[in-house]
Amino acid sequence: MALQIAYTSSHGVESKEAYHRIYKIVYNVRKTTSATAYAEVYYNNKARISGFDPIDTVEFDFAMDVSKLAPEPVTQAYNSLKTKAVVTDNRGKTKSLDYSKAKDV
């Protein structure tokens, strides 16, 4: 499970087929249902498969449903990411990107 959408990294690397893959979710039960998801951004899927380092990482918050009938957390994170227009990059800067236009890959 991943998303594909054009991306320009914090270092200026541009990719028309960047591969965004969630690799970590942090859930803080003390913050009600708040969770933070982290996604590695690869130049493309071939770069990921070949073992290259990501060109960037992004993070975003989402409300995680912890009920018994809820989808598993990674699916919830991807569904949330597809509604985002702003994420935070690895330098802590906000980045505008319309993930609703991302393709499931």
The DSSP element (H or E) to which 20 belongs, if any, is strand 19-27
Q: What is residue 51's predicted lDDT score, i.e. its pLDDT?
A: 98
Q: Tell me the whole-structure pTM to 2 decimals.
A: 0.91
Task: Convert the pLDDT of each residue in 20-36 to its tens digit.
Answer: 999 999 997 776 778 99
Could you state, in order of their start, the residue ranges of all structural domains in the chain? 3-99
Closest CA to 23 of 8, 2, 43, 5: 2
Q: Quick one: DSSP state of residue 84? A: -
What are 47-94's pLDDT values in tens digits? 999 999 999 999 999 999 989 999 999 999 999 999 999 999 989 999
Cα–Cα dist 71/52, whole Å: 31
Pairing outcome for strands 86-89 and 56-63: antiparallel
Residues 6+ apart with CB under 8 A from 56: 7, 9, 10, 11, 13, 40, 41, 89, 90
